[in-house]
């Protein structure tokens, strides 16, 4: 995705905002790394995917769907999934919006809400799509740095929110650090965000953080707030369904869901994805097992890295953010020779950091895709 837009004859058609967009970095191509590694296998730790597979209930739902065939369009409203989510989280199904991954909902929010010149506030280091989608719409993005210890900078956030953003993107746990905002910190963000602004809480990794007593339930904090908000969740991480593309948002009100439904493509979530998500939500054992095993690995890897003298951010997610003391691109390339793919960080101030997904103690499976 790093190629320059060509040929020149087409470039004149492309909007200025698009020409200036940074490309999303999905990490190195596993097929390419398999070729250069010489080990004949690839260990992909670049996309925070689950090494623990899917629930057997998902496998069964996929078998049934296959028997039924693929000739029909999916349910455009995803009502069975929205109702299941509503029941599971005790929210009205009409406040649920479904996405082709939660990334899709980030995109829809920007399309529905942002005018050129609007201000968007998010955190640095952060998730690149929290910047790319706003810029696609011609919005300005202000990134609030974390503290030296990877924590929430209350003063910097207070000032940034006072500047009057229209949209606030905040991930909890944060990607790439894995650090969490406490209930108190989240409440300060909520209190400081202008009531005219939309507060987006991206909880892609919430399942892993939930056992932490300090980690707040974003829905519990935002429910009852008389202001626009949306909490985003995904089936890509703890549920092990990254390849099937399904995520959802729970919004403050049905009006926001209606607006997102207007801008989305009508069949944005395919039927196998809807079926898989419903089945996944019903299997608490598989989720609990994935979280338990991930947290054991988090403790083990963090100890090992710190013991070896590396600075590691305090993660509550399924990845670690590590200062290697060397250029991140160089480190990533060296690891390719061992067949290991990590994500080299490139944000200013973090060019010596890599983000590595947690896996199993001995993972030798090769995989492909983004
Ligand atoms: C992985 C991730 C997502 C969403 O992934 P989808 O696969 O599109 O659901 C969203 N936000 C953050 C911060 C992520 O790391």
Domain range 69-282, its CATH number among 3.40.50.2000, 3.40.640.10, 1.10.600.10, 3.30.70.20: 3.40.640.10
Pick one of 2.40.40.20, 1.10.10.60, 3.90.1150.10, 3.50.50.60 as the CATH number of 18-48+285-368.
Answer: 3.90.1150.10
In short, whether 127's Cβ falls inside 6 Å of ligand 1 is yes
Average pLDDT (328-334) is 97
For residue 340, is it left (φ>0), alpha (ψ between -120 and 50) or beta?
Answer: beta
Q: DSSP letter string over 114-157?
A: PPTT-EEEEEES--THHHHHHHHTT-EEEEEEPPTTS---HHHH
- The DSSP letter of residue 354 is E
At 168-216, the pLDDT tens digits run 999 999 999 999 999 999 999 999 999 999 999 999 999 999 999 999 9
**pLDDT of the residue at 23:** 86
Question: What's the farthest any 2 CA atoms get from each other in the chain?
Answer: 58
pLDDT given at position 186: 97
Whether residue 43 has pLDDT greater than 70:
yes
- Please say if the pLDDT value at position 52 is more than 60: yes
pLDDT digits (tens, 9 = 90+) for 137-160: 999 999 999 999 999 999 999 999
pLDDT number for residue 112: 98
Q: What is the pLDDT of residue 362?
A: 75
Mean pLDDT of 28-48: 91
- For residues 291-305, give the mean pLDDT: 98
Provide the mean pLDDT of the chain.
94
User: Is 368 a residue whose pLDDT tops 50?
Assistant: no
pLDDT at residue 6 in the model? 59
When pLDDT is averaged across residues 18-36 and rounded to a whole number, the result is: 90
Atom 2 of ligand 1, nearest CA residue: 204
Atom 6 in ligand 1: residue holding the nearest Cα: 101
Query: Which residue of 202, 264, 277, 317 sits with most ligand 1 atoms within 8 Å of its CB, as the best mutation to test the pocket?
Result: 202
Q: What is the pLDDT of residue 10?
A: 84
Model pLDDT, residue 315: 98
State in Å: Cα 204 to ligand 1 middle.
Answer: 5
Report the pLDDT value the prediction gives residue 361, as an integer from 0 to 100: 87
> Residue 269's pLDDT is what?
98
Q: Where are the domains of the chain?
A: 18-48+285-368, 69-282
Give the residue from 119, 103, 137 showing the smallest Cα distance to 245: 103
How many Å apart are CA 235 and CA 233, to the nearest integer? Answer: 7
Shortest CA distance to 275 belongs to which of 130, 116, 64?
64
pLDDT band at residue 1, thresholds of 50, 70 and 90?
very low
Q: 202: Cβ below 6 Å to ligand 1?
A: yes
Task: Decide the pairing of beta strands 311-312 and 343-344.
Answer: unpaired
What letter does residue 166 receive in the DSSP assignment? S
Q: Are the C-beta atoms of 205 and 178 separated by less than 8 Å?
A: yes
pLDDT for the residue 32: 92
Average pLDDT, stretch 319-333?
A: 98
Sorting pLDDT into bands at 50, 70 and 90, what band is 4? low
Distance from residue 7's CA to the centre of ligand 1 (Å): 32
pLDDT per position as a tens digit, 76-97: 999 999 999 999 999 999 999 9
The DSSP code sequence of 2-42 is -PPP--HHHHTTS-HHHHTPPPP-----HHHHHHHHSSS--
């Amino acid at each position: 995705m790093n190629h320059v837009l060509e040929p020149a004859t087409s470039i004149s058609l492309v909007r200025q905002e698009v020409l200036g967009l940074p490309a999303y970095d999905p990490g190195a191509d596993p097929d390419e790394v398999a070729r250069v590694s010489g080990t004949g296998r690839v260990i992909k730790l670049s996309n925070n995917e689950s090494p623990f597979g899917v629930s057997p209930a998902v496998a069964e739902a996929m078998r049934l769907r296959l028997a039924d065939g693929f000739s029909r369009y999916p349910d455009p409203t995803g009502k069975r999934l929205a109702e299941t989510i509503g029941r599971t989280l005790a929210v009205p199904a009409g406040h649920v919006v479904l996405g082709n991954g939660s990334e899709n909902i980030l995109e829809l929010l920007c399309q529905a809400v942002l005018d050129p010149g609007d201000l968007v506030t998010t955190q640095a280091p952060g998730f690149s799509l929290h910047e790319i989608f706003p810029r696609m719409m011609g919005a300005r993005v202000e990134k609030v740095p974390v503290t030296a210890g990877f924590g929430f900078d209350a003063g910097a956030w207070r000032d940034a929110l006072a500047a009057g953003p229209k949209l606030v993107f905040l991930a909890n746990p944060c990607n790439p650090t894995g650090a969490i905002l406490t209930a108190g910190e989240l409440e300060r963000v909520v209190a400081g965000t202008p009531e005219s602004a939309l507060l987006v809480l991206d909880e892609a990794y919430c399942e892993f953080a939930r056992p932490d007593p300090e980690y707040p339930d974003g829905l519990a904090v935002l429910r009852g707030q008389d202001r626009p908000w949306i909490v985003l969740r995904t089936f890509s991480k703890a549920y092990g369904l990254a390849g099937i593309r399904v995520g959802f948002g729970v919004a403050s009100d049905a009006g926001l869901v209606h607006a997102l439904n207007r801008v989305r493509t009508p069949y944005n979530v395919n039927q196998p994805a809807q079926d898989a998500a419903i089945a996944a939500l019903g299997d608490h054992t598989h989720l609990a097992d994935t979280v338990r095993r991930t947290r054991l690995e988090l403790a083990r890897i963090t100890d090992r890295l710190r013991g070896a003298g590396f600075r590691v951010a305090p993660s509550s997610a399924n990845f670690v953010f590590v200062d290697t003391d060397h250029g991140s691109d160089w480190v990533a390339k060296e690891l390719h020779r061992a067949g290991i793919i990590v994500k080299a960080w490139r944000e200013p101030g973090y060019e010596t950091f890599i983000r590595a997904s947690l896996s199993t103690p001995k993972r030798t499976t090769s995989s492909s895709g983004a």
